[in-house]
């Protein structure tokens, strides 16, 4: 399948819209979390506001990391849309077979060791405090759900591409 510069541009524009929506959602979560913290209106978990504050801090940290990654993707996509050479470079970088193979192997290794990491994180968290254990468990649930969503989106996209080629 030969990719033209116009198809690359359309794909980049679609991805830019999706990344922009993600950035907006992340910013809303960060602003709402900041407002809850500033107004001291955190709902108490198990009757303690310190637990709620700790969990909110963990969620805010995850959102901050997601925001940084999303903003980096937006900058890369905007740069690619403004210059054909940068667009081709982005396409080549994203479709590099060696890089894709390495990412698959890293992801596979992480998935294989994730249960052991989960047990260790929850055990260590339980030794420290209930808040640390809850934060470790919540982070692992978040990562697991994110992994499932990414896997499902790739399967749906692959089925759509296979359906398009069959027509």
pLDDT digits (tens, 9 = 90+) for 131-160: 777 777 787 788 788 888 888 888 888 787
Regarding pTM above 0.85, the answer is no
Helix, strand, coil shares, percent, the chain, to 5 = 90, 0, 10
Nearest CA to 91 out of 20, 12, 6 is that of 12
| Rounded CA separation 75/43 (Å) | 36
For the cut 90, the answer to whether the pLDDT of residue 72 exceeds it is: yes
CB atoms near residue 41 (< 10 Å): 9
Instruction: Assign 3 a pLDDT band (cuts: 50, 70, 90).
Output: low
Q: Averaging pLDDT over each range in 51-55, 57-61, 71-75, which range is the top one?
A: 71-75
CB atoms near residue 116 (< 10 Å): 9
Instruction: Assign 27 a pLDDT band (cuts: 50, 70, 90).
Output: very high
According to DSSP, residue 3 is labeled: P
For the cut 80, the answer to whether the pLDDT of residue 163 exceeds it is: no
Instruction: Assign 165 a pLDDT band (cuts: 50, 70, 90).
Output: low
Cβ–Cβ < 8 Å for 28, 20 = no
For the cut 90, the answer to whether the pLDDT of residue 71 exceeds it is: yes
Question: How much of the chain exceeds pLDDT 70, in percent?
Answer: 89
Query: What is the reported pLDDT for 14?
Result: 92
Query: What is the reported pLDDT for 154?
Result: 82
For the cut 60, the answer to whether the pLDDT of residue 130 exceeds it is: yes
């Amino acid at each position: 399948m030969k990719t033209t510069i116009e198809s690359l541009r359309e794909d980049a524009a679609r991805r830019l819209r999706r990344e922009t929506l993600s950035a907006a959602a992340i910013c809303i979560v960060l602003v709402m979390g900041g407002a809850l913290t500033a107004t001291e209106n955190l709902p108490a978990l198990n009757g303690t506001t310190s637990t709620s504050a700790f969990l909110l801090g963990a969620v805010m940290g995850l959102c901050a990391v997601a925001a940084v990654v999303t903003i980096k993707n937006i900058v890369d996509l905007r740069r690619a849309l403004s210059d054909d050479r940068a667009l081709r470079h982005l396409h080549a970088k994203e479709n590099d077979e060696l890089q894709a193979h390495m990412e698959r192997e890293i992801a596979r290794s992480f998935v294989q060791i994730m249960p052991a990491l989960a047990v260790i994180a929850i055990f260590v968290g339980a030794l420290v405090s209930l808040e640390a254990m809850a934060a470790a468990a919540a982070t692992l649930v978040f990562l697991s759900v994110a992994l499932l969503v990414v896997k499902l989106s790739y399967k749906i996209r692959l089925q759509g591409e296979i359906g398009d080629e069959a027509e």
